[in-house]
Structure 1
Amino acid sequence: MSLKIYNTMTREQETFVPLEPGKVKMYVCGPTVYDYIHIGNARPVIFFDVVRRYLEFAGYEVEYVSNFTDVDDKLIRKAEQLGTTVPEVAEKFIAAFNENIEGMGVRKASLNPRVTENMSEIVAFIHELVEKGYAYESGGDVYYRTNKFADYGKLSHQNMEELQLGIRIEVDERKEHGQDFVLWKAAKPGEIYWDSPWGQGRPGWHIECSAMARKYLGDTLDIHGGGLDLQFPHHECEIAQSEVLTGKPMARYWMHNGYINIDNQKMSKSLGNGVTVNELLKRTKSAAIRYFMLSSHYRSPLNFNHDTIAQAESSVQRITNCMDNLQHRMAAAGTIAQENLAEIGERVSLIVEQFKAKMNDDFNTPDAITALFELVSEANQYMKQAVVTVQGLQLFIDALQMMDNVLGLLPQAGGNDEKGLPDAEIEALIEERIEARRMKNWARADEIRDLLAAQNIVLEDTPQGIRWKRK
């Protein structure tokens, strides 16, 4: 079954065919680094991490670029509030972003270009637009002539009157038309600036991604992604800028994820109901955050509250327990050659195919998770048998690991789920406790038990011996 993607441009599911066979060029708009990211920012970070993982599982070589906007009005205001500089603000929150995505088990992009490192390309891009008559200078600012681009509004499917409401900059008499958007902003006294043919200033928001996407991935991307809030004006403006310059479609597939609500209310600064990833990671495991984000289809809205996170924690624990049990049974299982694995293998293969079919259906992660739980149920039933074999257990372990390589729901290196004692140290302490009990050194045995309990390690006696797990 071929991968199908819902293309925001056409409002239809389309079979995915990259520009170059076997390779995918994907650009996802990154954060403006003036503060800690909130869970709304985390949704595209996690979802497009899964998109990348699945494309790689499907055999594609993925070049994944996600930018940092490290100069902007918000950074300038933040620097003023903190009594520091824009570069220092950017460095602080880029470091925080990288720590947060690692805490959520997200792999870093192939490249994270910064606006400030690509200023010459941005200025050159604007200059080309001016030369072609699609942009004009006015009072030290440079604006894009939206009425000159006949297809303006084709992504958001709005007409020019409707689009007027979404333009970031207020109506200004210096603009030829109200819909025109800024490409270059003249610097105010005391603000950070770069030199340009139009004077000292800094780029507008939209031009940055057009210039960086073109520089690092070429004239046409395979996938351009981001949150629904970026569809207009940001992505609409990117299209207008890029396509008049290159004469080619900016992207073959446009993907946008839905919003996150907090207790059924829109997350907003005015309501003060935002939740930062920085705070969430202090009380929630990364796998549970990922599960929550993937438990609804990416284009649907998500509702965040205590109950939804608690449910995610419980679901992730069930998956983790299954893998732990499979690996624990492996240590005691035999290799009975005469066991017929055909029936088990067929059941596992059907579930794996179901998982792939759901992921091929516009990255339907909630149904893919359902397939994963079917595998967990089958594995648990198999382990109830009086005799299990290494071969049988390995079939389930391999399938579960394959699915998790895409979804990232098991405790993983780099996530926040494995803080505390390393596995090897835990195993050594358990062996020491077993020996202490054999020697009737009850004091030392109790001491080790208490030490492990303090690290949230639970010991369980099983027919195969003592096993452990993290709470």
Structure 2
Amino acid sequence: MRAWPSPEVPALPDGIRGPQLRVRSSHTADLLDVVPTGTARMYVCGITPYDATHLGHAATYVAFDLLNRAWRSAGHPVRYVQNVTDVDDPLLERAAATGEDWEALAERETQLFRDDMVALRVLPPDAYVGAVESIPLVVSMVQELDAAGAAYAVDQDLYFRVATDPDFGTVSGWNRDQMLAVFADRGGDPDRPGKQDALDCLLWQGERPGEPAWDTALGRGRPGWHVECSAIARAHLGGPVDVQGGGSDLVFPHHEMSASEAQVVDGSPFARAYVHAGMVGLDGEKMSKSRGNLVLVSTLRGEGVDPMAIRLAILGHHYRSDWEWTAADLTDAEARLATWRKALTAPAGASAEPVITDVLSALADDLDAPRAVARVHDWVTATLGGDTSDDGSPARLATVLDAALGLAL
């Protein structure tokens, strides 16, 4: 599957390099230094392609774009992989409800996502991989799990034995009661007869009448959700990856299960850090496809909103925080964008060097974009207030904002 075109990212000015990155991982209470050995490797879970791209999606992928850029600012090459769950129950259910071919729905929504990522200047993954094209990888991994004694059949389906991973539960830090409380609502089937453990998860679903299926060594069927990401990450990144990322709603079961499956076959940790973006709400509820309370990036763009204003509005919130989208977010971001552009196109301004240092330091400190934004705004205020002590500062700062914050101003 093809990704989207990459924006041109300017090199940092001569003599400028960002600090090494620290992030909060869900499996520890501490900030972790994520200093890769050689190429940094990041896997971020992609969309199930329908109702793309709402602002919850956008906030997640902007967050990991900041992480990607922070690594690059510190001088590290990055290999980034993202999947597309282009066959799964929610997609098939939407196609059935609307009478649309599921493949056409998936391709249309995936293209809409690509277009939104281009508009928001999100760096594309090096490998953008669909579930359908990854079926051979999934089949191979399920066979490895079966050989390790970690898979068993329930009717025509295959399940993963979570008990075969001694570290199961360490990604989320949740106890069994917490897991069971949400498992059914997040794609699990704890009450299915024949399962050995209520928390065991689906690896391979045998063919169902009227649903897509593929001929494989496992029989006709299609992949389970969690093993899809395990298989893609192992094939395209190896292990352990430096960062496994996604929204905070993926901590359990998705990231817990996919990590355990990989750990059983590889005998080593799946990732060094598990990084999760907070949820974006609207009208007092989490923005979600099931509720339909969505603000779509494509709708805002169609109304003539500058994508850089959308990105700046997102950057005003720390990536790990849960927050609510309001009209004021966009209004404030549009006003701020206009003010910044005025200052950054001036021939001279306040000294940029301490601002550049503070911006890169803020981003390296658990992607603290709000702190970086506030620091830039202080510079803008000083510059428009008449402090023009440094010729060339606006252009130098604009380069850093493009490279590090993804803002083309």
TM-score (norm 1): 0.78
Partner in structure 2 of residue 103 of structure 1: 119
CA distance in 1, matches of 2:45, 2:290: 24
Q: Does 1:294 align with 2:292?
A: no
Change (3 A) 1:17 1:268: closer
Q: Does 1:157 align with 2:155?
A: no
One of 305, 308, 313 as aligned partner of 2:329: 308
**CA offset at residue 219 of structure 1?**
2.0
Change (3 A) 1:81 1:272: closer
Partner in structure 1 of residue 266 of structure 2: 246
Q: Does 1:14 align with 2:32?
A: yes
One of 380, 386, 390 as aligned partner of 2:384: 380
Identity across aligned pairs (percent)?
Answer: 32
Change (3 A) 1:255 1:89: same
Partner in structure 2 of residue 322 of structure 1: 343
* Structure 2 contact 165–263 (Cα < 8 Å) conserved: no
CA distance in 1, matches of 2:257, 2:291: 29
Q: Does 1:368 align with 2:387?
A: no
* Structure 1 contact 375–400 (Cα < 8 Å) conserved: no
* Structure 1 contact 352–371 (Cα < 8 Å) conserved: no
**CA offset at residue 271 of structure 1?**
5.0
Write the deviation string for residues 302-325 of structure 1: whole angstroms up to 9, x where unpaired. Answer: 21011121111111111111123x
Change (3 A) 1:61 1:143: same
CA distance in 2, matches of 1:408, 1:304: 21
Change (3 A) 1:370 1:247: same
* Structure 1 contact 267–273 (Cα < 8 Å) conserved: yes
CA distance in 2, matches of 1:214, 1:395: 44
Write the deviation string for residues 281-308 of structure 1: whole angstroms up to 9, x where unpaired. Answer: 2232211111111112111112101112
Q: Does 1:25 align with 2:22?
A: no
Change (3 A) 1:302 1:358: same
Partner in structure 2 of residue 88 of structure 1: 104
* Structure 1 contact 137–198 (Cα < 8 Å) conserved: no
Write the deviation string for residues 217-275 of structure 1: whole angstroms up to 9, x where unpaired. Answer: 00210111110000111000011100011111111111101111114433345654222
Partner in structure 1 of residue 7 of structure 2: none
CA distance in 1, matches of 2:290, 2:225: 23
CA distance in 2, matches of 1:307, 1:84: 36
Change (3 A) 1:247 1:409: same
**CA offset at residue 149 of structure 1?**
2.0
Greater relative CO, 1 or 2 (CA 8 Å, sep 6+): 2
CA distance in 1, matches of 2:285, 2:208: 37
Change (3 A) 1:63 1:292: same
Structure 2 matches for 1:50-129, cutoff 5 A?
50-129=66-145
Partner in structure 2 of residue 259 of structure 1: 279
Write the deviation string for residues 333-363 of structure 1: whole angstroms up to 9, x where unpaired. Answer: xxxxxxxxxxx89x43222212222112111
| Larger-gyration structure (1/2) | 1
One of 181, 185, 191 as aligned partner of 2:201: 181
**Amino acid aligned to 2:151:** A
Q: Does 1:133 align with 2:131?
A: no
* Structure 1 contact 288–409 (Cα < 8 Å) conserved: no
One of 384, 393, 397 as aligned partner of 1:399: 397
Q: SS of 1:14's equivalent?
A: strand
TM-score (norm 2): 0.89
Partner in structure 2 of residue 410 of structure 1: 408
Partner in structure 2 of residue 169 of structure 1: 188
Partner in structure 1 of residue 22 of structure 2: 4
Change (3 A) 1:264 1:135: same
One of 196, 215, 223 as aligned partner of 2:235: 215
Matched residues, number: 386
**Amino acid aligned to 1:374:** D
Write the deviation string for residues 388-411 of structure 1: whole angstroms up to 9, x where unpaired. Answer: 8xxx43233112321232112334
One of 282, 298, 301 as aligned partner of 2:302: 282
**CA offset at residue 132 of structure 1?**
0.6
* Structure 1 contact 320–410 (Cα < 8 Å) conserved: no
One of 139, 157, 162 as aligned partner of 1:146: 162
Q: SS of 1:142's equivalent?
A: strand
In terms of fraction of residues, the more helix-rich structure is: 1
Write the deviation string for residues 55-114 of structure 1: whole angstroms up to 9, x where unpaired. Answer: 212211011111111111122223333444332222111111111111222222222111
